[in-house]
Structure 1
Amino acid sequence: MVQVRYTRNLFLRGICVIYLFAFLSFYIQIPGLYGDNGVLPARTQLEHKDWTTLLQKLKQKPTFLWFAPYLGLNIEYMLDVVSLIGIILSFAGFVSQKFCIMPVFGILWALYFSLYQIGQVFMWYQWDTLLLEAGFLCNIIAPFWYPSQKKLSTPSDAISFWTVRWLLFRLMFSSGVVKLTSGCPVWWSLDALSIHFESQCIPTSLAWYAHRLPSWFLRLTTVGVNILELVIPFLFFFPNKKVRTVAFYSQLFLQLNIIATGNYNFFNLLTICLCISLLDDTFFYKKKSKNDDLKVVNYLSTIVCILVYGGILYGTCVYYNLKITDQWTIEAKIGFTQEQFDYVLYRVIPISIYIGLTSLAFTILNAITNSLATVKGTRNKIITTFITLLYSTIVTFIFAMSVVPNANLHPSHNSTIPVPIKQVYTKIDQFHLVNGYGLFRKMTGVKGRPEVIIEGSNDIEGPWKEYEFLYKPGNVNNSLPIVAPHQPRLDWQMWFAALGNYNQNPWLMSLAYRLLNGQPEVLALMNTVESPFKNKPPKFIRASLYHYHYTLKSQTNTWWTREKIGEYFPVFSSDTTSLIEYLTKIKVIQGKPAQKTTYEAFKFVLDSLRTLTSKVEASLLAWSIFTAGCTLILTRFSNAANKKK
């Protein structure tokens, strides 16, 4: 039986690290985003005249925040409590395997889901739902309790851990599919990466250098991205272990390159955790064998691996017309039409489901066989087989639900899904246990990177002075930051806002109002050091749309050049009637005072923690806590080694 106990434990501790980063990042931004004086106060999501009893409230919006009055806290402080519990539990799971158990992961999922319920537009990201889905899977992957002694894998471990591999497949394959089904001409012309490094949300300094790579190389890299997302995922279920290991390294390579050039918070780290499902314990503990038969099998396995990837390389050369030019560059051009791709996708989606179903069936069959063959004692056989069948049923249900978003990658397959499966999926969809994915559907910023620049003034005629954000491009002289694993959600949403207009982003009106009133909680999310209005808020505020482009660093000390496109939203003042009426309508401005905190001792502790953490930059705080966890782990290992001596 293939052992996955160590691999599984590594995955679970990795998810704890992701939870740690996610909860910590959220906690830092609570006052400015969701506090009573924040951009989108959380209390507005929990006020409904028809919700009277606690049971009704939990049914309509399941979140721990409803328990705030029972603890003598208001909603803002309850957000602190939920986040801090998440931080403590995830840190405990990171530093000790004893906390990587089902009850802990159940609580972590419930805590993050509670935050997601009131997150509104600032949490409508695929990595948040991906964390919810991966976190839910941990509830069936993790043991119910930490065993007193180290055990080998049980047959059900392979079944539950298989769900992570299937999630990884759906994530990567759908991300590749949507790039071409969107019809985006930039993806079809293979020029996407010539734009991406400049137009992505928060690029790193390396993105500037990546943008300057030769165009032929960037086009070839775009081909590589297509292959890594469209073709390689099918090898996740290949029976040859070496083929899967190479697939693991290829996906790891892709994620590390994304991390190097862009700040995508915990998303790429989470994807790397999912990639662990392609491995088993022999990857970490390789056993040398003198058996000649095993050596022959190993050589044959290597040959199969070479043939598989050689075939993919050959197919890539054919379907992307790869040719070496006289200048020793590689020319690339997609050799198929959108109609041909649509036809192939129509055929491939059912095949992908059959592949997943076949892989799951063999995994279950192998687990049941091992339950009967390797477990000693009739009583143990019965118990182990029952548990294996139970996990098989749960995983089969999850697989059936995942067929819905997977089939929706092509519109013609939506009608082929059995009605009962659709009905069940609709009922559980609100919990994000199974989700659809698809990143970078269309490449933005073809004519330049759009940016919304907010300006304030004490005179409607000017001069107008700019507000600066902590991380997103604004001042053309500011260097490009490294932010991950922290996600500055306001900066991210400003990037999305620039792709539309302010009518499509009504939260901007709340942001403008908070800036007009000099709200310190909101200003803390921005660059207050260089703010022209840190002592007194402006009387008027407006926003303009700019297009940014990278500069040639050899010619100037700036990182960007920019040109003004036009007005984004008009001039507002703190007493603009239309602004006040709108914010009153969406309950950002309320006549009644916010709920008071009656538990003063608890409030004092929470305020002290908030004051302490606010003095450290967010990403630095995240890595500092992670480093502290690593230090604790190494110290424990060192002490254990010394005891053995």
Structure 2
Amino acid sequence: MGRQGENILLYQFIFLKGMAFIYLAAFLSIFYEINALIGYDGLLPVHTYLKRLSNNGINKDMSIVPTIVWWAPEIMEYIKKVVPSLSEFDSYETLLHLICLIGVLLSLLALLSNKFMNFLVYLSLWFLYLSIFSVGQLFFSFQWDIMLLEAGFLTIFITPTVRNGQLIVDEISSVTRDLLKWLCFRLNYASGVVKLTSQCPTWWQLTALHYHFESQPLPNPISYYFHQLPSWLKKLFVAQNFITLIGGSLLIYSPFRRFRQFGGLMLLSEQFMIILTGNYNFFNFLTVLVTLATFDDKFLKYWTPKFILSLLGDYNDCIKKPLKKETKSKDLKNDPYSPLMKKLKLLICILIFIAMVIYAYLTYFPLEAIFENGKVDFTLADIRVNLVNGKVPIVALIASMLFCVHNLFCYSLKYNSQKSVIVNTKRLFAITFGFIMYMLTSYTFFAGLDKEMFQFPLNIPLLSQLQQQSQPFHISNSYGLFRVMTGINGREELIFEVSEDGINYHEITLFYKPGPIDQPLRFVAPYHPRFDWQLWFSAMRPHINEAYLLNFMFKLINNKPSALSLIDHNPLKGKQINFLNIKKYIYSYTTLEERASTGNVWKRKDPQIMAERVMRVHNNLEKSLKLMNQEIDTKRYPIHILRETVPLIEIVWTLLVLIFIKNFLKNRKIKV
């Protein structure tokens, strides 16, 4: 298996620092919207949600809804004695803000100092995020949220072990690294397969990117230009997408180290392209971190930019060399042809890899499918027989487990040669943990590939029961991105118009979603505006009947701060909003010529009335909300004091810059 069992401390440091940054982005995103989304005066109030659960017999049951928010009144009772100024605010809302602040603080500490890259810090971060996720309802129904929980759970166990003041790789870290690599495989392989098993015609005809850059939730400025690419090139990218997601995933379990690296690089290139052409918050950055598990330290140290290594702080001082040192042969050291042979071997591997990619193109995606209206050279039955229920995913699972076992014993021999009760107990725990996690994740993996043709190779009732019990904690999930391409008939957008007199209506602008046709596109990632994102889903539905959207309408015409805080530009600022219209438009990008002449990114057509002349006193709206068990409250509440008084983003970015300068100067001083 090549050079498996090598030191992975560098990967651990990169992964742990990266997870701290992702947690930071996630908690910051939540902090600035949580008041309007699930606060006391929010669109889906958390206290109403927990009250409904209690009425249904689920009261403070952590096995079903694992969140500390259950005990918000009791916790805040003690906190308000220390900080009396918080007494006028809702206990649930205040606790949610405090959870975000603690998450931000712990993330910053882990970024600032290696001393905080420990088990307790990452356990706390995972549980805090789980506590918000469990009560976030519709606004936390995304795949990146569950992936952060699964990766965050594994992060707890990959934290380095300290021995005699130095960090070593122990068995549990080795197993966890392989579980992260297995997560990388499941995410990418499933994302490639489900596009085909969903039977979406755009994937089969290789035309998905004709719509994606325009119809994705929050396009960025580069998305516009990629949409203008010629048709054949976008088809080529779709074919490359399948080859990368499926072929690259399989390569990371190749017995040859170079091919594992090629597979990892293919998957990384896919993520960098998505980051370049879309705003997908922290999701792609998280995927990059997980994909790095396919590389060893030797590769990472050679290719990682120095400015990133400088952010790792005292990494070089923390490394402990293996007990069994590797020695080079004197003959090999003095061999003048050794460098030439290495380059020749690398060149041969590259040529073989290129030949494999070209073969995949010509075999499965003939030129007629790229340059004309031809079809791919496989069928749905082929996909199901080979990639879903065939030997391919089972062989990948077995290969992953073999790599895991191989690496585990390699690390045991290198770092833990002593035979003590504690060491043997740790080994037994690592083996048990790895086996259980592989079984749990394999069950969800096979279930998510094709729901119509699901066949799990191991029929174990206990495993199914364990999977159901662990489901609320999301430590094993099924993935599959962009099963069906949206926007085939144009991008649908909901546009809100407000009026004071019911005659003259003015369009309001939200922070990030497309609105006015001259509104420029923005870079948003890794920030995640959950309200704007959710409106993208709602625009594709035929009716406005979701509780959060009805609540937004109700709170907007009642001029509540929670709804107004979600608006970037209110044309009636200083006046009362008494009437509301909602229209649905079909949006499309302008051509390069149209943009040059008008300056507009978008053009829109076919306005459809979704809600007309909604007034402050609207019996049908209130009736609908009451039927959905939503409380009607016309009182006005101030934006929470924690959000008003804490300039969180400015503080965070200042600290990040100071961390970078500190580590950069320290490393420079050491070199001098």
TM over 0.5, yes or no? yes
**Amino acid of the structure 1 residue aligned with 2:623:** E
**Does the CA-based 8 Å contact 1:198-1:211 persist in structure 2?**
yes
Out of 580, 584, 588, the residue aligned to residue 549 of structure 1 is 588
**Does the CA-based 8 Å contact 1:240-1:301 persist in structure 2?**
no
Structure 1 range deviating more: 531-540 or 103-112 = 531-540
Deviations for 1:165-212, whole angstroms, at most 9, x for unmatched residues? Answer: 100111111111111111111111111111111111110111111111
The answer for the alignment partner of 1:500 in structure 2 is 541
After TM superposition, the structure 1 = structure 2 runs for residues 612-631 of structure 1, keeping only pairs within 5 Å, are 612-613=646-647, 621=649, 625-626=652-653, 628-631=655-658
The answer for the alignment partner of 2:499 in structure 1 is 457
Q: 1:544 to 1:129 in 2, by over 3 A?
A: same
The whole-number CA distance in structure 1 between the counterparts of 2:601 and 2:634 is 47
Structure 1 range deviating more: 237-246 or 295-304 = 295-304
Please tell me whether residue 85 in structure 1 is matched to residue 102 in structure 2.
yes
The answer for the alignment partner of 2:147 in structure 1 is 130
Please tell me whether residue 116 in structure 1 is matched to residue 133 in structure 2.
yes
The answer for the alignment partner of 1:642 in structure 2 is 669
The whole-number CA distance in structure 2 between the counterparts of 1:332 and 1:608 is 59
**Amino acid of the structure 1 residue aligned with 2:605:** E
Q: 1:369 to 1:384 in 2, by over 3 A?
A: farther
Task: Report the Cα offset of residue 135 of structure 1.
Answer: 0.2
Task: Report the Cα offset of residue 417 of structure 1.
Answer: 4.2
The whole-number CA distance in structure 1 between the counterparts of 2:93 and 2:544 is 28
Out of 172, 194, 200, the residue aligned to residue 178 of structure 1 is 194
After TM superposition, the structure 1 = structure 2 runs for residues 91-240 of structure 1, keeping only pairs within 5 Å, are 91-143=108-160, 146=162, 149-240=165-256
The answer for the alignment partner of 2:560 in structure 1 is 519
Out of 31, 35, 39, the residue aligned to residue 35 of structure 1 is 39
The answer for the alignment partner of 2:571 in structure 1 is 532
Instruction: In structure 2, list runs of 5 or more residues that go unmatched.
Output: 78-89, 303-325
Q: 1:337 to 1:6 in 2, by over 3 A?
A: same
Task: Report the Cα offset of residue 232 of structure 1.
Answer: 0.9
**Amino acid of the structure 2 residue aligned with 1:240:** F
Deviations for 1:215-257, whole angstroms, at most 9, x for unmatched residues? Answer: 1111111111111112110111112222222222222222122
Aligned-residue CA RMSD in angstroms? 3.0
The answer for the alignment partner of 2:309 in structure 1 is none
The whole-number CA distance in structure 1 between the counterparts of 2:270 and 2:56 is 50
Out of 504, 509, 512, the residue aligned to residue 550 of structure 2 is 509
Please tell me whether residue 243 in structure 1 is matched to residue 259 in structure 2.
yes
The answer for the alignment partner of 2:399 in structure 1 is 358
Deviations for 1:115-171, whole angstroms, at most 9, x for unmatched residues? Answer: 01111111111001110110011112114x655623343344322210101001111
The answer for the alignment partner of 2:609 in structure 1 is 567
Task: Report the Cα offset of residue 308 of structure 1.
Answer: 3.9
**Amino acid of the structure 2 residue aligned with 1:85:** I
**Does the CA-based 8 Å contact 2:41-2:562 persist in structure 1?**
yes
The whole-number CA distance in structure 1 between the counterparts of 2:45 and 2:605 is 34
Q: 1:634 to 1:330 in 2, by over 3 A?
A: farther
Task: Report the Cα offset of residue 439 of structure 1.
Answer: 1.0
The answer for the alignment partner of 1:611 in structure 2 is 645
Task: Report the Cα offset of residue 312 of structure 1.
Answer: 3.0
The whole-number CA distance in structure 2 between the counterparts of 1:212 and 1:458 is 41
**Does the CA-based 8 Å contact 1:404-1:414 persist in structure 2?**
no
After TM superposition, the structure 1 = structure 2 runs for residues 232-631 of structure 1, keeping only pairs within 5 Å, are 232-285=248-301, 290=333, 292=335, 296=341, 299-300=344-345, 303-304=348-349, 306-322=351-367, 333-348=375-390, 350-368=391-409, 370-372=411-413, 375-379=416-420, 383-408=422-447, 409-410=449-450, 411-414=452-455, 416-418=457-459, 419-460=461-502, 462-528=503-569, 531-552=570-591, 553-590=595-632, 607=641, 610-613=644-647, 621=649, 625-626=652-653, 628-631=655-658
The answer for the alignment partner of 2:320 in structure 1 is none
The whole-number CA distance in structure 1 between the counterparts of 2:343 and 2:26 is 42
Q: 1:577 to 1:526 in 2, by over 3 A?
A: same
Structure 1 range deviating more: 81-90 or 234-243 = 234-243
Q: 1:323 to 1:546 in 2, by over 3 A?
A: closer
Percent identity of paired positions between Structure 1 and Structure 2 = 30
Deviations for 1:391-435, whole angstroms, at most 9, x for unmatched residues? Answer: 121011011011122212133333654132222111111111111
The whole-number CA distance in structure 2 between the counterparts of 1:291 and 1:137 is 44
Out of 75, 98, 114, the residue aligned to residue 92 of structure 2 is 75
Task: Report the Cα offset of residue 641 of structure 1.
Answer: 5.3
Task: Report the Cα offset of residue 361 of structure 1.
Answer: 2.6
**Amino acid of the structure 1 residue aligned with 2:227:** H
Q: 1:346 to 1:640 in 2, by over 3 A?
A: closer
Structure 1 range deviating more: 387-396 or 331-340 = 331-340
The whole-number CA distance in structure 2 between the counterparts of 1:393 and 1:341 is 34
**Amino acid of the structure 2 residue aligned with 1:244:** R
Deviations for 1:421-480, whole angstroms, at most 9, x for unmatched residues? Answer: 2221111111111111111111111121100111222344x3322121111111001110
Q: 1:539 to 1:53 in 2, by over 3 A?
A: closer
Structure 1 range deviating more: 279-288 or 226-235 = 279-288
The whole-number CA distance in structure 2 between the counterparts of 1:91 and 1:394 is 29
The whole-number CA distance in structure 1 between the counterparts of 2:347 and 2:291 is 21
The answer for the alignment partner of 1:600 in structure 2 is none
Using structure 1 for the length normalisation, give the TM-score.
0.89
Q: 1:558 to 1:96 in 2, by over 3 A?
A: same
**Amino acid of the structure 2 residue aligned with 1:149:** G
How many residues matched? 620
Q: 1:146 to 1:38 in 2, by over 3 A?
A: farther
Out of 17, 21, 26, the residue aligned to residue 21 of structure 2 is 17
Using structure 2 for the length normalisation, give the TM-score.
0.85
Deviations for 1:484-521, whole angstroms, at most 9, x for unmatched residues? Answer: 11111111011100111335523211010011011122
The whole-number CA distance in structure 1 between the counterparts of 2:151 and 2:334 is 40
The answer for the alignment partner of 1:617 in structure 2 is none
**Amino acid of the structure 1 residue aligned with 2:659:** L
The whole-number CA distance in structure 2 between the counterparts of 1:516 and 1:592 is 10
Instruction: In structure 1, list runs of 5 or more residues that go unmatched.
Output: 597-602, 615-620
Q: 1:584 to 1:158 in 2, by over 3 A?
A: same
**Does the CA-based 8 Å contact 2:196-2:203 persist in structure 1?**
yes
The answer for the alignment partner of 2:308 in structure 1 is none
**Does the CA-based 8 Å contact 1:101-1:146 persist in structure 2?**
no
**Amino acid of the structure 2 residue aligned with 1:625:** V
**Amino acid of the structure 1 residue aligned with 2:514:** P
The whole-number CA distance in structure 2 between the counterparts of 1:148 and 1:608 is 42
The whole-number CA distance in structure 1 between the counterparts of 2:407 and 2:600 is 60
**Amino acid of the structure 1 residue aligned with 2:247:** V
Q: 1:469 to 1:358 in 2, by over 3 A?
A: same
The answer for the alignment partner of 1:599 in structure 2 is none
The whole-number CA distance in structure 2 between the counterparts of 1:485 and 1:85 is 19
Q: 1:430 to 1:532 in 2, by over 3 A?
A: same
**Does the CA-based 8 Å contact 2:66-2:473 persist in structure 1?**
no
Task: Report the Cα offset of residue 298 of structure 1.
Answer: 7.1
